Each structure stands twice: as structure tokens, then as C-alpha cells.
Amino acid sequence: MKILIVDDEQPARQRLAAMLAGLDDIVVVGEAANGREAVEKAGALAADAVLMDIAMPVMDGLEAARHLARLEPRPAVIFCTAYDEHALAAFEAAAVDYLVKPVRQERLLEALERARRSRTPTAPPAPAEIPGAPHRQRSHLAARMRGNLRLIPIEDVHYLLAEEKYVLVHHARGEDLIEESLKSLEQEFSDRFQRIHRNCLVANDEFLELKRMPDGQVHAILRHGKMPLEVSRRCLPTLRERLKHL
């Protein structure tokens, strides 16, 4: 079983690696210092299981676990953290186990056995929405690229355009398709994007001007848009009101 160790503290990574050294059928294929590195490396290294801290810079372990759940095959996630208050959120992210530091070897072996069982045809559950659990806004979107994931920082997104069952993300580095609905993205990032049409959300800081065309149609002029985007009559009153308060 191929293991990826993720922790922003090198001594913690070294300790886990030492506990795994010499175990049959266990190979540490890599290390990462934050959640973003974990997502990028897990697919590239074809990791079977990820031992991951939760409190990390750039991207925390809980968000990373949700992105990892989109990989095929999905690596098993085992959280190794100094805090026990994230257990509910860890379950929500479909972790196979939750270990509190300092991690004991016998508990680590139990967790690895659970991870091994999760590789059977009975797959681990997908991340669940737990009633009453706080909703966590992501820092990145994830686009599937030939078996790996390309992470797109939310702060780099210019606008989102629905195309059939996909959403085309226009961002600072180009364009990518993601398998999410525009409605769910609007709900999650309501403080960052404004709906201008039934098929389009625009980042707050992208608006330069709302311009009325000779035919009476209003278009949004964007900082980084190649062309104006149509604003629907239905969305126009709400959009104008919200832009006054940005």
C-alpha cells in the first residue's frame, strides 16, 4: 500500500515515516507540507492512503480530503491531528480514521488496516452533508485532468459559465471545466460572486461597468473579460443594488 504523508511540520512527517518503516506491504511514496500539495501529489503518485494533518497553511486537511474524494481511485484519508474537535468534520469528509497526536503505532496500524479494507470493491462513502454541521467554504476549485486534479484558487477566478452539466471556470491562468452546478457554487460563494444571468456568475472585483447597448440589452464589462457578458433583465435590478455596496 502506497502512503502519502502530509503535515506542515517536518518532525511530524519524519515520525510517521519512522513508524511505517519496515512494515510489510507499506511504502511511503512521498510527503507534502499542505493540503494543496497533498491533492497534487496524491494523484501523481497514485497513493492508496493519505496520512494528513488538518491545521495547515494554503489549504487545510478537511478541504484537501474533499478534493481527494474526486480522484479515481479515491485514496483513503487518515487524519493525524493534535486536536479532537474536528472529528465530526472529518467524518463529513469521509475519512477512514481520525488519530490524535501523538499518534501511537498500534492505532496507526488499525487505521491502515481500515484503509486497506476500503480498497475492496465496497468503496468508502462519498463525503456526506451532515444536518447541522457548519458549511466550509473552499479556497480552491478542482478540475479533473487525466486522472489528476488541477487546483484553481478561488481568488483567481474571474467568472463561471454553465455549459450543460459542467461549469467553465475563467481564471487567471486560463480556462478549466469542473463537474459542479452553478447553483451550488452560487450558494457556497455568495459573498464572492454575483449572478448576472441564469448561466453566469462573476467575481465581485471583476466588474468595471454595466453598459446599455443600442438594442437596450445591458452588458457587464469586466477587468479580465475578452468580451462583454450579457446581463439578464431578471438579474439586473438585484445586481445593480448589490454593486452599490461592494
> What integer pLDDT is reported at residue 120 of this predicted model?
60
Q: What is the pLDDT along the chain (246 residues), one digit of tens a residue?
A: 999 999 999 999 999 999 999 898 999 999 999 999 999 999 999 999 999 999 999 999 999 999 999 898 899 999 999 887 777 677 677 789 999 999 999 999 999 999 999 876 544 454 444 334 445 789 999 998 877 889 999 999 999 999 988 999 999 999 999 999 999 999 999 999 999 999 999 999 999 999 999 999 999 999 998 899 999 999 999 999 999 887
> What integer pLDDT is reported at residue 52 of this predicted model?
96
CATH of 2-117 given 3.20.20.10, 3.20.20.80, 3.40.250.10, 3.40.50.2300:
3.40.50.2300
CATH of 155-243 given 2.40.50.1020, 1.20.210.10, 3.40.720.10, 3.90.600.10:
2.40.50.1020
> What integer pLDDT is reported at residue 134 of this predicted model?
46
Domain ranges in the chain with CATH number 3.40.50.2300: 2-117
> What integer pLDDT is reported at residue 22 of this predicted model?
86
User: What is the three-state SS of the chain?
Assistant: CEEEEECCCHHHHHHHHHHHCCCCCCEEEEEECCHHHHHHHHHHCCCCEEEECCCCCCCCHHHHHHHHCCCCCCCEEEEEECCCCCHHHHHHCCCCEEEECCCCHHHHHHHHHHHHHCCCCCCCCCCCCCCCCCCCCCCEEEEEECCEEEEEEHHHEEEEEEECCEEEEEECCEEEEECCCHHHHHHHCCCCEEEEECCEEEEHHHEEEEEECCCCCEEEEECCCCCCEEECCCCHHHHHHHHCCC
